[in-house]
Amino acid sequence: MKYVKDFNWKKGMSVKSFVEELGGIGFQAIELKAASEIIEKMKTSGSKIYLSFTSNMVTSGLRGFFAQVINLGMADIIVTTAGAIEEDIMKSFGEKFDIVSFNADDIALHQRGENRVGNLVIRNESYMKFEDWMTEVLEKLYTKQKHWPVSELMKEIGLLLKDENSILFQAAKKDVPIFCPGITDGAVGFHLFMFQQKHPDFIVDVVKDFKNIMFATSHDDTKGFIALGGSISKHHAVFAGLLSGGFEYAVYMTTAHRSSGSMSGASTNEAKSWGKIKDDSDAATIIGDVSITFPLAMISALENLAEKGIIK
């Protein structure tokens, strides 16, 4: 029998010890500690780890942390959205996103050419610089080959960025594939479309990439899944896992609720009904802001793994 324990701050408390204390508080704090333990088990068991996240998390400062997580070997397969790709690239060549208020004057922002994502702002100028950069890069890649599966295109782009805080760069360097099934759903998709009008034989092949993610793991692999947010990135990853036998470990972090019947709000328990997560899997679902919950759970796991010498 476990009992609720009173939480007390201790001077010099580490993230690891803080998350350990959360396990006695109750409610979502217990789930967060469980998530950290499951992430640690994914790595110690030698699992192939899928990591999915949505673009808003790359708008935020989590972008650099995702890059570090990849560099540390905590993700073997990435699934994300078009916005994440373009914003990672923008930040790679020095674009800054402003912090504003959730209650900012949106009409004034629009008149100034500023686009709000929660309490963050991306300027139109950033998209214009992105367009110029993409046009030049696509011309170079077109001379190399005409037909590109999305993940192979992402790797080629990543190798050009040379930014240690870039998700695409770290993934390319570590040979971690980035899958983006909704590549046309954003500015990057528009530029791919415009480039194809000039070069009709230029093909970005999402169907070929479906084959690539299907065979990224096998039924014999132990698999773990960290889903941050929901949307197409979460479903594409969990469906790929289903096709290779289901996940042994899973952590879902989201602000969506199961009552909507959406993929974003679907819990790890619901996934078991589909066979996406195995019946006897080690799984946790955390309802809360991923910009808070993910760093806490992951850093606690990293500190434990570093103490064991599993990561450096």
DSSP 188-216: HHHHHHHHHHH-TT-EEEHHHHHHHHHTS
81/179 same-domain check? yes
DSSP letter, residue 10: -
End of a domain among 165, 188, 216? 216
The one catalytic residue in 276, 278, 308, 312 is 276
End of a domain among 163, 183, 216? 216
User: What's the token pair of residue 124?
Assistant: 């139109």
DSSP sequence for 115-164: EEETTEEEEHHHHHHHHHHHHHHHHHHHHH-SEEEHHHHHHHHHHHH--T
310/209 same-domain check? no
Q: Is residue 3 in some structural domain? A: no
178/245 same-domain check? no
Q: Which residue has the tokens 């990135």?
A: 233
| Structural domain of 148 | 53-68+75-94+128-216
Q: Is residue 108 in some structural domain? A: no
Q: Is residue 99 in some structural domain? A: no
Note the residue count of the chain.
312
Q: Which secondary structure element, helix H or strand E, spans residue 251, and what is its range? A: strand 247-254
What's the pLDDT score for residue 2? 84
192/226 same-domain check? no
Q: Is residue 200 in some structural domain? A: yes
pTM reported for the whole predicted model: 0.96
Q: Is residue 115 in some structural domain? A: no
Q: Is residue 155 in some structural domain? A: yes
- Spell out a b/e string for 104-114, using b for 16 or more CB atoms within 10 Å of the CB, else e: eeeeebeeeeb
What's the pLDDT score for residue 104? 97
Q: Which residue has the tokens 């594409």?
A: 236
82/185 same-domain check? yes
Residues 167/169/170/171 CA torsion (nearest 10 deg) = 80
Overall domain count for the chain: 2
Check which CATH number belongs to the domain holding 188 and give it.
Answer: 3.40.910.10
150/203 same-domain check? yes
End of a domain among 183, 216, 249? 216
208/284 same-domain check? no
Q: Is 276 a catalytic residue?
A: yes
As a whole number of Å, the end-to-end CA separation of the chain is: 36
Q: Each residue's pLDDT tens digit in the chain (312 positions)?
A: 889 999 999 999 999 999 999 999 999 999 999 999 999 999 999 999 999 999 999 999 999 999 999 999 999 999 999 999 999 999 999 999 999 999 999 999 999 999 999 999 999 999 999 999 999 999 999 999 999 999 999 999 999 998 999 999 999 999 999 999 999 999 999 999 999 999 999 999 999 999 999 999 999 999 999 999 998 999 999 999 999 999 999 999 999 888 888 888 888 888 999 999 999 899 999 999 999 999 999 999 999 999 999 998
57/168 same-domain check? yes
What's the pLDDT score for residue 222? 97
207/245 same-domain check? no
34/152 same-domain check? no
What's the pLDDT score for residue 267? 87
